[in-house]
Structure 1
Amino acid sequence: MSGWRRIYYILLNLPLKLLVKSKVLPADPRAEADLNLRGPIVYVLHYNSKMDLLTLRIQCLKQGLPDPLASLDINGVTLPRCVFIHDGPHMQTWYTKKPRSASLFRNYLDLHRFNPTLDVQLVPVSVMFGRSPGRESQADKQASQLHLLNGIKKFFTVLWLGRDSFVRFLRPLSLRYIANEHGTDKSRARKLARVVCMRFARQRLVSVGPSLPVRQDLFNKLLASKAIKKAVKDEERSKKISGKKARKNAMELMEEIAANFSYEAIRLSDRILSWTWNRLYQGLHAHNAELIRQLAEEGHKIVYVPCHRSHMDYLLLSYVLYHQGLAPPHIAAGINLNFWPAGPIFRRLGAFFIRRTFKSNKLYSTIFREYLVELFSRGYSVEYFIEGSRSRTGRLQEPKTGTLTMTIQAMLRNSNRLITLVPIYVGYEHVMEVATYAKELRGAVKKKEGLWQMIRGLRKLRNLGQGYVNFGDPLPLATWLSQQVPQWRNSVELIETQRPDWLATAVDKIAVTLMVRINNAAAVNAINLCSSVLLASRQCSLTRSQLLVQLACYLELLRNVPYAPDITVPDLTPEALLAHALAMNQLTVKHDAVNDIICLSYDQAVLMSYYRNNIQHLFILPSLIANIIFGYPGIERAQLQKRIALLYPLLKAELFMRYSKKELPPLIDSLIAELARQGLVDTQETRLYLVPTRLRVLQLLAAIVRETLQRYTITFFLLRSNPQINRGTLAKKSGVIAQRLSILHDINTLEFFDTAVFSTQVATMRAEEYISDTGDAIDEKVSEMCNILSNLITPDVLRTIEIFSVLENEPECAALSVK
């Protein structure tokens, strides 16, 4: 590099260090982008911008990558390490310069012709200042093309957007592979330049998203659609109003539903949230985001399907996606959030509002469906919560399938559209609404969201610990339908006029699959682990040493027999996890002369059950194994397998577990082997025995499934007492007995007497043929399950259940409980 050029770069670099603060994607380019530092690396930028080049250089030096300003010497041939696809515009608009990229690519390819061991890695790098998609008018489109800015405009862009920039390293192209497979002639070099240019265009679309419509133009287009025209005419006839009034009603509904996306609002919220998260959270962790970026770059239309724990979910997920270099999605938010000032803010951040029910309002349902179809057709990513509302218990709820059905219908209207559903596990160490959830489950009326409620919620914000966003295994809709419903393409032409017969069944299966995949991506943390341990103790208290031993047991189980590949387990010692949990001030420490006692008060125990429930599915099978060994000491391995096979369908449906019946036996053997390795179980030939010296550890592990088995016992004993009982009544009476049991035996978990949990349980009992088609109990099967459960719960609880199950089925008692 010449002296003058070096001075020029030094002078230009000074303001860049002050004005530019770029984010690098992926966070570790050497690992995630598969870069081989031993081989030659050539960077490719979209156009010739010294600001972009120096921004790239700053990040390369930070990441330990080769300097893009340095030349590359290969076999005595010196070539630049950075190639520009376009030279870009100049201040003199009449001046054009032929780009050198094709000739440089040809020079690099020629080197591979004479050196068979050479493999130059071509690394496209996208440097972006600002991420405004612009509006659909031609003038705005031109204004949004930041890569066409000349030097003066680029300077002001960097001045304004320098801290809203990122450097994205795309996956490298192997010139050795290209030379071997396609040759090294001039046409290949030009094609290579076009391929790289297309990758830049796709990357820009992934990061920025499609251009935004003018809001009124969007409404006019929707009103002109056949479906909405028909719905407006039906509204006119059914309500006996004028056509003008019906169209006005339709327009008002569009105003109520539609988002009003604003890039400036996104930028402002990013500044506010970055400041807020740094003070509220000790860390935000995103797992598996690279896979989602890859899907988006391949042209998939992404539908994000997260679990729903808190109102924080909306903000947290959009924040994480934005910082992962992905365009923020349009979010289906509950109409309860459409109050001032939250509603207008959320709307500008991409929220579109959805009512709790579409019943008896055909115009509304048609407009919402057409709006969703329009979002997909324009290529926007969409986010909705398949559970419908926030989980009050910490477990996944039964999925609501309305929006999912509309998603599949949208795909059927354009079968070439690649729509992929991405399940997302969102986890926290502190959810500010948990105390409210506990009150609602105990009968308190849910308070309507409003300005005062929002202010009160903000006052509660404090140390929220760690936050987790784990992206699960994506579900490409077309691929799934081709495997499960081969005839689905035959319905494409009919979707406008009728609903396919297979749709409802397919939607239910997809919904359950998504819930299972959300649980497969669970995040384990200090709070949910410590709560799992302490709530297993009847007194909700353990000595520090006991707690640490139990934490070590659970960590080894998770690491040695992982529930699923996508779960995340903290790489910390039990001592470090406990120290972090204590720092969160959610546990109580009582000091004595011998050992500290870690405990939970009654109120703390109720709230901490929420976090325990987040990961209960990870430990339920090891706990069940331990419980059966306690209930049947010296049990044959085959008998244990049989009992688990009977109980597992109930657990699978309730906790959305991943294993099929065929996968269960080898998994149980692996878990038994791990318990034996830890010295918790003694395996003698085919029998399983307790180990007296490790009895307490196994006992606490067994207690995780304790309340679940108690609920099953309630329902099965009720059914045995009254084989003709109605299924709805069975679920309701089970909840009543569970509530009494929780008072008498001091059971302090959130979900214990939740009627929704019992409804799921009863439905599974019907599917597993404990209840016949006529609604009567199958006595033999019910009695067998009652006998198994009788040995798995304590005698005092069993006796209480037996008494209440008999009394609840007596007319006199039923009349008294009504009074």
Structure 2
Amino acid sequence: MSTTDTSARSRAPWWFNLAGQLLEPWVRIRRDPAEPATLLEPGVPVCYVIERDGLTDGLILERACREAGLPTPLQPLAGTRRKRSVVALARRDSLILGSSRKRSPTDALGQLVRLMEGDPERDVQIVPVSIYVGRAPTRESGWFSVLFSENWVVVGRFRRMLALLLNGRDTVVHFSAPVSLRTVVNESGDLRPERLTRKIGRVLRTHFRRIRAAVIGPDLSHRRTVVDSVLNAEPVRAAIAATATKENISQAKAWRRAHDMMMEIAADYSHPVVRSASFLLSNFWNKLYDGIAMHHFEKARAAAPGHEVVYVPCHRSHADYLLLSYQLHMSGVVVPHIAAGVNLNLPVIGPILRRGGAFFLRRSFKGNALYSVVFNEYVAQLIDRGVPMEYFIEGGRSRTGRLLAPRAGMLAMTVRAFLRAPRRPVLFQPVYIGYEKLMEGKSYIGELSGKPKEKESLLGLLRGLKVLRQRYGHVALNFGEPIELNPLLDAASADWRAAIDDPEAKPEWLGRVVDQLADKIQININRAADVNPINLLALALLATPKHAMAENDLLSQLELMKALLEELPYSDRMTMTSMDPAGIIAYGEQMGWIRRVRHPLGDVLVTEDEQAVLLSYFRNNVLHLTATAAWVASCFLNNRRMSRASVLRLGRIIYPFIQGELFLPWDADGFCQQLQATIDFFVRRGLLEATGEGRVLERGPGQDDAAFQLKIIARSLIQAFERYYITIAALVKNGPHTLTSAELENACTLTAQRLSLLNELSAPEFFDKALFRGFIQKLRENRIVWTDDAGKLDYDKGLEDMVRDARVILAREVRHSILKITPGGDGEKEAPAEKPLPTDATSEALHERHVAAEHHEHALVEATVVEEEAGEPHDKR
């Protein structure tokens, strides 16, 4: 302790020092930020401002400042007559740090303002300090302490002291950034000191309310009050009247129906239940997982104050919402209200989820206008009250590991609720959740193979408790770049605020904004991906025919993929395991994902049967990270030599489709820049050789190590190209004006299923209808395919060019196999007017002529595509 602190404490009343010594063993302080001294301007006097004027808060503040090396609040404020450097905003009749009972907080602030006006050279740093007792319980905390957690109620001295004795070891002291009072006075203009003092007081109270809402949640009324507020809203009353008239029932009966709907929907948030659940979940996670890591959380927390925060994570497991809520709570952020399917409103479980902040919605609102209005009004009420929310825009858990196409219903409700009452800007916070093993893995495989989804029930939940016997590795929660709603609205319409005047209006730009928002959320989730050891093993092993690799080859492939992601990072929010290749293999063996087969010539690592299918989920989690590398490598699966220009040209053609499937962040030009950087990386690593001043690229023969590594990278995306070929081949084979979208989707699914059976593919998503549906939709968006007056599909001639271009990527036997089993009327016909590709000799001659005649450069280099007609021997590894 410094001499100044010692002397300051010696000037405090004897009872204050005694109380501090008695309280010290019961209190453990966590400062936020950990080093608040770095916030202060050296040499400028400090005045702390706190919410309450209780003795305990004064003791906590003094100790927190002492432990952080900050100026003590017990010393006089330099240049003033104040005996203490602290002001309390609460107007309770009490003593704090020796202050007078008769003085109001504005008296102290007024003194400081007048001091600034009397001496233009003087300044004081105002530091708001928020103190929360019992905000973050630990596993050793008692259950009784839940009743005395921090809340919005201004409690008496006895209850505050009891809360401190029970929860004092979980005390958080939040130091906000200091504000220069001199700057405030200078910027106030001609405002009188009395009015300026009141304004400063209002700003400080607003600041404390904002911080408290971010830490413990908004001040929510009882559930009945929220229900009554919704039922009394004008849109709901009008919907009740309309229902009564339409169905010829009494107004009272229609009202009771709406009331029952609200009771089915509404959360019944309870701080004690959330606190109690945190105790249980601590033990649950410790039994289930080896660790839960959060990345970029501090950035997310810094952006939250002052906003209506909507968390929009990816949805991969029932554990998602519990994990995110638990981690937010333990990190000092309020648990959001979570939109959950009504199928989870089970006996026993439902009420607990409801008190933890869950509100329930039906899968479809279609045909029930009253329910739609009631639910929309409830969401609007949550936003109006500043309640943070969480929902999954995918509409359900991903069974394949990919992000699903967004369902924008909740987004549209959120945007319309904001337009109705834009009191607080809305911030969407994407969250990537990455697992190393899933509890639902086996059920996902069954559903993708055609088994019906098992309905949630309490009995099924009890049967599923056997999963607790296993370990599921580590979990990562990565917070992506937040998305503010206002800039999207500004870009869509300069006068979007005019929509506020008519709450029933549906502006023509609203749908476009919602779609852009949904895509941006999915893109930012993918940009925050975490690459764990299981993802890397899946990318490597599933690219081999037998899902097996020699240990040396696997070590080299893992090192290559890590180097690729490190040298060409997907985004600044992507994270990756720190394990080296040997550590990754050892960890995969430990988790039971791979098995080592001993052999005198070198061990082989293999993943077998069901494990290989399960691993495809984790490959798909990070497929987007290697999309550019996979495209470049795919161009050399069946070609020894190819021009750089051809790789880029074909990349531009294919990009809209892989962008729509994988939610990639670039436009076409940005994708080409990524392709250029990836090509340069492959050249540096010796996987490709650049000749002709870098215009022509060549790989080694098929038996070469570099060619083997390229094939492994390429095969991570080759199934997507096969799906695309199935779709366009089916269209061309059947001809225009023949198939509807639904018929084409069904034909593609059947073809893919049969191809999967014939080739024993360990990727059940290969014949996922949703992926075919998404590709067909992209064809329509790009006007390559459209619907005629009879509802049949017609297409542009460019589709036939795409069939021909597919020969560059897909091997002849693959194309012929697809064409053979695709339903249609033209038998083995591949595509009209196929032109032969140039041979090796022709390619070299064309390149020489290109060097000699620069005015033919583009056309001739584009022609340097060499297909290996006879094929090379397959690698025997």
Secondary structure at the aligned position of 1:751 is classed as helix
C-alpha contact 1:465 1:584 (8 A) present in aligned 2: yes
Matched, 1:699 2:702: no
C-alpha contact 1:285 1:467 (8 A) present in aligned 2: yes
Secondary structure at the aligned position of 2:569 is classed as coil
The equivalent of 1:782 in structure 2 is 799
C-alpha contact 1:129 1:161 (8 A) present in aligned 2: yes
Which letter maps to 1:591?
R
Which letter maps to 2:815?
L
Matched, 1:760 2:813: no
Q: Runs of 5+ in structure 2 lacking a partner?
A: 1-5, 137-147, 829-877
Provide the identity percentage. 33
Secondary structure at the aligned position of 1:397 is classed as coil
Which letter maps to 2:748?
S
Secondary structure at the aligned position of 2:697 is classed as strand
Query: Per-residue CA shift, 1:269-310, capped at 9, x if unaligned?
Result: 11212232233223222233334333332x211122221111
For 1:156, which of 139, 159, 162 is the aligned residue?
162
Secondary structure at the aligned position of 1:629 is classed as coil
- Stretch moving more, 675-684 or 402-411: 675-684
Secondary structure at the aligned position of 1:643 is classed as helix
- Stretch moving more, 425-434 or 318-327: 318-327
Residue correspondence of structure 1 range 307-318 to structure 2 within 5 A: 307-318=314-325
- Stretch moving more, 93-102 or 688-697: 93-102
C-alpha contact 2:638 2:811 (8 A) present in aligned 1: no
Q: Note closer, same or farther for the CA distance 1:626–1:52 as it changes in structure 2 (3 Å cut).
A: farther
For 1:255, which of 248, 258, 263 is the aligned residue?
263
The offset of 1:158, in angstroms, is: 1.1
Matched, 1:169 2:175: yes
Q: Note closer, same or farther for the CA distance 1:585–1:23 as it changes in structure 2 (3 Å cut).
A: farther
In 2: Cα distance, 1:465 partner to 1:41 partner: 51
The offset of 1:4, in angstroms, is: 8.9
Scaled by the length of structure 2, what TM-score is found? 0.82
- Stretch moving more, 504-513 or 173-182: 173-182
The offset of 1:235, in angstroms, is: 2.2
Matched, 1:744 2:758: yes
Q: Runs of 5+ in structure 1 lacking a partner?
A: 133-141, 812-819
For 1:721, which of 724, 733, 736 is the aligned residue?
733
Query: Per-residue CA shift, 1:516-573, capped at 9, x if unaligned?
Result: 2221222222222221222122221223332232222222222221212222223443
Query: Per-residue CA shift, 1:443-495, capped at 9, x if unaligned?
Result: 11111111122223332033222222222222222221111233433332233
- Stretch moving more, 437-446 or 121-130: 121-130
Matched, 1:359 2:366: yes
Secondary structure at the aligned position of 2:129 is classed as strand
For 1:213, which of 213, 218, 221 is the aligned residue?
221
- Stretch moving more, 779-788 or 9-18: 9-18
The equivalent of 2:817 in structure 1 is 800
Residue correspondence of structure 1 range 604-753 to structure 2 within 5 A: 604-684=611-691, 685=693, 686-691=695-700, 692-724=704-736, 725-753=739-767
- Stretch moving more, 756-765 or 581-590: 581-590
C-alpha contact 1:630 1:690 (8 A) present in aligned 2: no
In 1: Cα distance, 2:569 partner to 2:749 partner: 33
Which letter maps to 1:486?
A
In 2: Cα distance, 1:164 partner to 1:68 partner: 23
The equivalent of 2:526 in structure 1 is 519
Q: Note closer, same or farther for the CA distance 1:417–1:127 as it changes in structure 2 (3 Å cut).
A: closer
For 1:562, which of 569, 577, 587 is the aligned residue?
569
C-alpha contact 1:25 1:325 (8 A) present in aligned 2: no
Q: Note closer, same or farther for the CA distance 1:453–1:492 as it changes in structure 2 (3 Å cut).
A: same
C-alpha contact 1:606 1:749 (8 A) present in aligned 2: yes
C-alpha contact 1:85 1:101 (8 A) present in aligned 2: no
The equivalent of 2:410 in structure 1 is 403
Which letter maps to 1:275?
N
Residue correspondence of structure 1 range 403-482 to structure 2 within 5 A: 403-461=410-468, 462-482=470-490
Query: Per-residue CA shift, 1:202-260, capped at 9, x if unaligned?
Result: 21122223222222233223222222222222322333322222221111111111111
The offset of 1:201, in angstroms, is: 2.6
Query: Per-residue CA shift, 1:12-49, capped at 9, x if unaligned?
Result: 567756544555545x556xx96479887958351455
Matched, 1:83 2:86: yes
The equivalent of 2:139 in structure 1 is none
- Stretch moving more, 235-244 or 449-458: 235-244
Secondary structure at the aligned position of 2:809 is classed as coil
Q: Note closer, same or farther for the CA distance 1:745–1:129 as it changes in structure 2 (3 Å cut).
A: same
Matched, 1:273 2:255: no
Q: Note closer, same or farther for the CA distance 1:111–1:437 as it changes in structure 2 (3 Å cut).
A: farther
C-alpha contact 2:135 2:332 (8 A) present in aligned 1: no
Residue correspondence of structure 1 range 233-312 to structure 2 within 5 A: 233-297=241-305, 299-312=306-319
The equivalent of 1:44 in structure 2 is 48
The equivalent of 2:346 in structure 1 is 339
- Stretch moving more, 228-237 or 362-371: 228-237
Query: Per-residue CA shift, 1:590-630, capped at 9, x if unaligned?
Result: 33345443221110111111111111111111111111133
Q: Note closer, same or farther for the CA distance 1:123–1:415 as it changes in structure 2 (3 Å cut).
A: closer
C-alpha contact 1:89 1:150 (8 A) present in aligned 2: no
Query: Per-residue CA shift, 1:338-375, capped at 9, x if unaligned?
Result: 01111000100111100000111111111111111111
Q: Note closer, same or farther for the CA distance 1:697–1:239 as it changes in structure 2 (3 Å cut).
A: same
The equivalent of 2:400 in structure 1 is 393
Q: Note closer, same or farther for the CA distance 1:637–1:245 as it changes in structure 2 (3 Å cut).
A: same
C-alpha contact 1:85 1:193 (8 A) present in aligned 2: no
Q: Note closer, same or farther for the CA distance 1:438–1:48 as it changes in structure 2 (3 Å cut).
A: same
Secondary structure at the aligned position of 1:734 is classed as helix
Which letter maps to 1:612?
R
Which letter maps to 2:709?
V
Secondary structure at the aligned position of 2:766 is classed as coil
Which letter maps to 2:724?
Y
Secondary structure at the aligned position of 1:445 is classed as coil
Matched, 1:95 2:101: yes
Query: Radius of gyration: which is bigger?
Result: 2
User: Over aligned residue pairs, what C-alpha RMSD do you find?
Assistant: 3.7
In 2: Cα distance, 1:58 partner to 1:580 partner: 45
The equivalent of 2:784 in structure 1 is 770
In 2: Cα distance, 1:44 partner to 1:210 partner: 24
In 2: Cα distance, 1:43 partner to 1:699 partner: 66
Q: Note closer, same or farther for the CA distance 1:418–1:479 as it changes in structure 2 (3 Å cut).
A: same
Q: Note closer, same or farther for the CA distance 1:285–1:88 as it changes in structure 2 (3 Å cut).
A: farther
In 2: Cα distance, 1:446 partner to 1:332 partner: 21
In 2: Cα distance, 1:37 partner to 1:277 partner: 43
Secondary structure at the aligned position of 2:293 is classed as strand
Scaled by the length of structure 1, what TM-score is found? 0.87
In 1: Cα distance, 2:438 partner to 2:224 partner: 39
The offset of 1:679, in angstroms, is: 2.6
In 1: Cα distance, 2:126 partner to 2:591 partner: 47
The offset of 1:329, in angstroms, is: 1.3
Q: Note closer, same or farther for the CA distance 1:164–1:3 as it changes in structure 2 (3 Å cut).
A: closer
In 2: Cα distance, 1:43 partner to 1:319 partner: 35
- Stretch moving more, 255-264 or 473-482: 473-482
Matched, 1:326 2:340: no
In 2: Cα distance, 1:178 partner to 1:594 partner: 77
In 2: Cα distance, 1:734 partner to 1:16 partner: 72
Secondary structure at the aligned position of 1:658 is classed as coil
Secondary structure at the aligned position of 2:334 is classed as coil
Secondary structure at the aligned position of 2:453 is classed as coil
Aligned residues between the structures: 792
Which letter maps to 1:598?
L
In 2: Cα distance, 1:286 partner to 1:590 partner: 36
Q: Note closer, same or farther for the CA distance 1:549–1:155 as it changes in structure 2 (3 Å cut).
A: same
